[in-house]
Chains A and B, each alone.
Chain A
Amino acid sequence: MTIPLAYYLTLSAVMFAVGVAGVLIRRNAIVVFMCIELMLNSVNLTLVAFSSFLGDITGQALVFFVMAVAAAEAAVGLAIVIALFRNKKTVNIDEINILKW
């Protein structure tokens, strides 16, 4: 049997939800970052699935750009984490609360 589109989308949805949960629960900044990457990838899967099922290259081209942006974001984000670590000696995001009331 062929896998219907819905299955791919369901998988993507589940991965996205797991990513969201991870972002909200984990306290290690780098793990949070990795969960964000997981969310991005789930979206990529959705896009590719639609692209393949609808025959339109647009979805895959978009995934291409998402990857490029994710790479850029990874670089800058981790640079920030490093800078943060240098200043506060921790990557526990609960402790990075200078904008507190």
Chain B
Amino acid sequence: MTPESLAFFFLAAFAVTTAVLMVLQRNPVMSAICLIGNFFALAALYLLLRAQLLAVLQIVVYTGAIMVLVVFVIMLLNLGDEERLRERYDYKMALVLVLVAGFVAELAYILFSADGLPAAAGLHRQAEAIGTVEGMGTALFGRFLLPFEVTSLLLLAAIVGAVVLAKKKA
């Protein structure tokens, strides 16, 4: 058991637990916090995969920006543990659980069937090189320049849209 694999198992368990907790929590703020925990675990997993830039970006963008926004909105709407928002344990839930179970089964089958995945030993020998800021930067401003620029347009549209939608009626 190398430290790496230990770390992996721990992080994986943590990620799954927080995910499940997030789904089960009644209070939306608690859900948000669970999700933030999940994101931290993911960031660590990225580090295990030698994707340094992405690990940092995960924390900065996802937890730092998106989850903050979410928590902000929850606070703004003053949502607590409302009765109306409680789930009903009805046939729909059963059906969903059945479907999801089937879904998972299929995925498992795909993953663990004989001719599943490349019988990889471990990380690629280049993995460390490509995950750095340099590597990512070279790719982003090289091969992926056009999507990069277009993304800025996308963000502009998102900003304008968000402002317009959330504005109070004059």
Q: By the criterion CB–CB under 8 Å, are B151 and A61 in contact?
A: no
Contact present for B69 and A78 (CB under 8 Å):
yes
Q: Is the CB of A61 within 8 A of B143?
A: yes
Taking a contact as CB atoms under 8 Å apart, the answer to whether B104 and A55 are in contact is no
CA A26 to CA B96, docked complex, whole Å? 11
Does B42 lie within 8 Å of A44, measured CB to CB?
yes
A-B contact number at CB 8 A: 240
A48 to B44, CA, bound (A): 12
Question: Is B165 within 8 A of A76, CB to CB?
Answer: yes
In the bound complex, residues from chain A placing their C-beta under 8 Å from that of B77 are 30, 81-82, 85, 91
B144 close to A22 (CB less than 8 A): no
From known contacts A3-B122, A7-B8, A61-B139, infer whether A74 and B23 are also in contact, taking CB-CB under 8 Å. no
**A3–B87 Cα gap in the complex (Å)?**
38
Instruction: Kindly supply a per-residue 1/0 record for chain B positions 85-125, scoring 1 wherever the CB is within 8 Å of any chain A CB and 0 otherwise.
Output: 11100001100110110011001100110001110111111
Cβ–Cβ contact A24 & B96, under 8 A? yes
What is the CB-to-nearest-CB distance from B139 to chain A, in angstroms, rounded to a whole number? 4
Knowing A11-B12, A79-B166 touch, does A18 contact B161 (C-beta < 8 A)? no
- Chain B residues whose CB sits within 8 angstroms of the CB of A11 once the complex forms: 12, 15-16, 45
Most buried by B among A20, A44, A74: A74
A residues near B85, Cβ cutoff 8 Å: 27-28, 91-92
Instruction: List 17 A–B pairs whose Cβ atoms lie within 8 Å, in order of A's numbering.
Output: A13-B108, A14-B104, A17-B103, A17-B104, A22-B23, A25-B93, A26-B23, A30-B28, A34-B70, A38-B22, A52-B50, A60-B51, A60-B54, A60-B130, A63-B54, A65-B151, A76-B162
Interface residues of B (CB under 8 A from A): 1-2, 4-5, 8, 12, 15-16, 19-20, 22-23, 28, 31-32, 35, 38-39, 42, 45-46, 48-51, 53-54, 57-58, 61-62, 65-66, 69-70, 73-74, 76-77, 79, 84-87, 92-93, 96-97, 99-100, 103-104, 107-108, 111-112, 116-118, 120-127, 130-131, 135-136, 138-140, 143-144, 147-148, 151, 154-155, 157-159, 161-166, 168
Give 10 closest A-B pairs by Cβ, nearest first.
A72-B158, A2-B122, A55-B124, A79-B165, A22-B23, A79-B166, A79-B162, A55-B126, A75-B162, A52-B49
